[in-house]
Structure 1
Amino acid sequence: MSELREFCPRCGDPIEEREEPLPGAPREKDAVLCDACYFEDFDFVDAPERIEVMVCAHCGAVYRGNRWVDVGAKDYTDVAIEEVSNALGVHLKAREVSWAVEPEQVDQNTIRMHCQFTGMVRDTFLEEEVVVPVKISRQTCKQCGRKAGGYWASLVQVRGTERVPTSDEDARAVEIAQEIIADREEAGDRGAFITETQETDEGVDIKLSTNQLGQTVSNRITRELGGRVESYPTLVTEDGDGNEVYRVTYAIRLPKFTQGDVIDPDDDDGPVLVTSARGNLKGTRLATGEQYEARFEEGETPPATKLGTVDDAEETTVVTVEDEHSVQVLDPETYEAKTIARPEFFDPDEPTVRVLKSRAGLHVVPDDAVEK
């Protein structure tokens, strides 16, 4: 009796014996075909005819899905390789697959990707090459468009209380904003940017891309430099969904006194060299060297009169140390010998000392009392 054999239903040729599927397992309709007929319709690699990559001509971001993404590529060849890699597909039945991509720069906007694939199907070694042209299309992303158009949503105004902020305070406020933006960008927030910084006669203005950024920047500035902040929203328009859109001005008022000021608090204990205005007002009593601290009540500076700054102090000669509480120095203006208070920070071995002359009298000023 002759042995039964299977035949290919398409060409009629006998089919070599192959492993049968397990009982109950589905059997593919093409499984009954011989190898020749099977590979006639077999697509080893699925590749698009061409790929268009939209990149921002200003920042290099790539448009993927429905948003712009910072990819950090060195050039657009890296971007093209990644896009092609994501678009290519290999048949699920292929095993031991390996592949490589070789880019060919055709012109500034076109890269031809040569993709080589190898794999095993039905114990048959397959090799295929596909060529996918990648077209680079340059556009302007939403972020760069907003920057170029001067878009802003919040304005941070740095001002002083009964004074103009120092150049160091203005510079530090801008640095704080830049540091926050850098942190947001590192975290992938493409919508965070500084639109403009402007120096005015009253202080620096910082325009930012979102209201939340304005609040964050303002809070950090006041936390570091002291003072208080108030917000003033202004309705500017409605979005496509009918939601009201506001611009918010964050008005910062730095403390009346700042590091390096010499003030006379309303407590009859003598002048104070201010060392910090963060949180509370802190300083050093010039008459004794004792530490001074006063709370800001609801953001208001404790009552005091400004006598000058540490930069107003002048170097003068120490005539004699009279006792543990007093020292005699030359008045830097009249050159008269005057006896003044000897604070704890006074060094009796030094032949000269810095003093500040004000309406409160003559006082020794320390060289290293101000926080750096």
Structure 2
Amino acid sequence: MSESREFCPRCGDPVEDREEPLPGMPREKDAVLCDACYFEDFDLVDAPERVEVMVCAHCGAVYRGNRWVDVGAKDYTDVAIDEVSNALGIHLKAQDVSWAVEPEQVDQNTIRMHCQFTGMVRDTFLEEEVVVPVNISRQTCKQCGKKAGGYWASLVQLRGTERVPTADEDARAVEIAEDIIADREEAGDRGAFITETQETDEGVDIKLSTNQLGQAISNRITRELGGHVKTYPTLVTEDGDGNEVYRVTYAIRLPKFTPGDVIELDDDDEGPILVTSSRGNLKGTRLTTGEHYESRFEEGETPPATKLGTVDDAEETTVVTVEDDHAVQVLDPETYEAKTIARPDFFDPEKPTVAVLKSRAGLHVVPESET
């Protein structure tokens, strides 16, 4: 650049020509200074004297602004780097800026951040280093405080109709609840958590942080396991705005019969049914013929019937002879007498043995895939 006829008002040295601002734009007041005087007061980086970071000692969330934020940091050094990065300011005139940071762990609650910066200003290469102490204080966030205090807003109760839920049903209900919580957490919902899971003699109880979770979980359980749900709200308090606050119990009643049960329908003489589904209308397979069965719409998932046993009660026995398309002779697994019983479609005549269930309704072949 060529020298202008302007002189630095601070030292009197000539000032190089500068690019004039666009029409209507104010001229930078420091533009009249020479480079030496300009850089005397120039700071490439604006850094705070220290950074205070509040973290939850239980979940690692960081308090920013007026709320707790899950940052997903591996340790507090990552948190310190992020907080210092957000607190630093780079001069607007700097170009081609790059920086690096080297953390120094002073003690359990203090990390000293050594930050090196480079950039171009007035065609001049600048380097600057700042040291920012980060003080970490450990608190308990609102959600962890609720968890520790046993807070809950909804209760999902898993119960059976005229029976106790199986261990698999209890376990699956808890798994469904955990899956929904995980999905909510991944979406950033810090208020979603399971307060307590309790096994009772009648089935599992799941306490949850919100009523919406109770509704979502009970709906998914009944979609998968069948049954129905009823809600029982209880007024517990009022919030600061005078709104009523309710706790809601979601009482799930699972179907009377489950897949694998063998039942005998009331007022029906066509033979026992192996239940294959209890969602919606009960569905199954006739053990006498192998035909598909589905209850009438008004009977739903629990038609009038008596449970004879389950496929787990079936025993393997010897096939004596295949008499015709509708009958087969097998050995009674208890008395070892040869008995002629119904031959259903799923019976395999090529196999020397077959699984049979003995009940008050007699002896019946059970599908091999169900045993």
Normalised by the length of structure 2, the TM-score is 0.93
* Cα separation, 1, equivalents of 2:350 and 2:59: 62
* Greater mean alpha carbon deviation, residues 338-347 or residues 204-213: 338-347
Query: Cα–Cα, structure 1 residues 139 and 298, in superposed 2: closer, same or farther, change >3 Å?
Result: farther
The secondary structure found in structure 2 opposite 1:15 is: strand
1:257-282 CA distance string (max 9 Å, x none): 00111011235241101111122211
Question: Relative to 1, partners in 2 of residues 1:177 and 1:3: Cα closer, same or farther, differing over 3 Å?
Answer: closer
Answer with 346-355 or 277-286: which moved more: 346-355
Larger deviation, residues 228-237 vs 117-126: 117-126
SS in 1 for 2:321: strand
Q: Does structure 1 residue 109 correspond to structure 2 residue 109?
A: yes
Name the structure 1 match of 2:214: 214
Q: Are 1:191 and 2:191 matched, yes or no?
A: yes
| Deviations 1:164-219, CA, capped at 9 Å, x for gaps | 11111111111111111111111111111111111111111111111100111100
**Cα–Cα, structure 1 residues 329 and 22, in superposed 2: closer, same or farther, change >3 Å?**
closer
The aligned counterpart of 2:72 is 72
Could you tell me how far 1:53 is from its partner in structure 2?
0.9
Instruction: Judge which range, 120-129 or 283-292, deviates more.
Output: 120-129
Residue 362 (structure 2) pairs with residue 361 (structure 1): yes
Measure the CA separation in 2 of the matches of 1:85 and 1:178.
35
CA separation of 1:358/1:112 partners in 2, compared to 1, >3 Å: closer, same or farther? Answer: same
Q: Deviation at 1:100?
A: 1.3
Query: How many Å apart are 1:336 and its aligned residue?
Result: 2.6
Counterparts of 1:1-372 in structure 2, within 5 Å, are: 5-266=5-266, 268-269=268-269, 270-295=271-296, 297=298, 301-366=302-367
Q: Is the 8 A contact 2:278 2:301 kept in 1?
A: no
From the superposition, tell whether residues 295 and 83 of structure 1 become closer, same or farther in structure 2 (CA, over 3 Å).
Answer: farther
Q: Secondary structure at the match of 1:73?
A: coil
For residue 300 of structure 1, report the CA deviation from its aligned partner. 5.5
Between stretches 134-143 and 299-308, larger displacement belongs to 299-308
Taking a change above 3 Å as real, the CA distance of residues 23 and 171 of structure 1, as seen in their structure-2 partners, is closer
In structure 2, the CA distance between the partners of 1:62 and 1:264, relative to structure 1 (3 Å rule), is same
Bigger Cα displacement from structure 2, 253-262 vs 136-145: 136-145
Query: Following the alignment from structure 1 to structure 2, what is the Cα–Cα distance between the partners of residues 313 and 164?
Result: 22
- Displacement of 1:299: 5.7
Is the Cα–Cα contact under 8 Å of residues 282 and 300 in structure 2 kept in the other structure? no
Contact 2:275–2:283 under 8 Å retained in 1: yes
| TM-score (norm: length of structure 1) | 0.93
Mean Cα deviation higher: 330-339 or 133-142: 330-339
Instruction: Confirm or deny: 8 A CA contact 1:296 1:302 kept in the other structure.
Output: no
CA contact (8 A) 1:281 1:296 kept: no
Q: Which one is further off, 84-93 or 276-285?
A: 276-285
- Alignment length, in residue pairs? 368
Q: CA deviation at 1:139?
A: 0.9
Cα shift readout 1:148-178 (whole Å, capped 9, x = no counterpart) = 1111111000000011111111111111111
Residues 222-280 of structure 1, C-alpha deviations (whole Å, 9 max, x = no match) = 00000000111111111112111111100000001001110112352411011111222
CA distance in 1, matches of 2:91, 2:114: 19
Q: For the Cα contact (< 8 Å) 2:165–2:203, is it kept in 1? A: yes
Does the residue aligned with 2:15 lie in a helix, a strand or coil?
coil
Partner SS state of residue 5, structure 1: strand
Output the CA distance in 2 between the equivalents of 1:172 and 1:295.
28
1-10 or 37-46: bigger deviation: 1-10
Structure 1 residues 327 and 4: CA distance shift in structure 2, 3 A: closer
Change in Cα spacing, 1:328 to 1:93, as seen in structure 2 (3 Å) is same
Q: Residues 41-88 of structure 1, C-alpha deviation per residue, up to 9 Å, x if partnerless? A: 323211111001111111111111222222121211111111111110
Greater shift after overlay, 34-43 or 205-214? Answer: 34-43
Shift of 1:123: 2.3
Unpaired runs of 5+ residues, structure 1, are none
User: 2:2 & 2:291 partners in 1: Cα distance?
Assistant: 115
> Percent of aligned pairs with the same residue?
90
Q: 1:36 to 1:145 in 2, by over 3 A?
A: same
Question: Which moves more between the two structures, 6-15 or 324-333?
Answer: 6-15
How big is the alpha-carbon RMSD for the aligned residues of Structure 1 and Structure 2?
Answer: 2.4
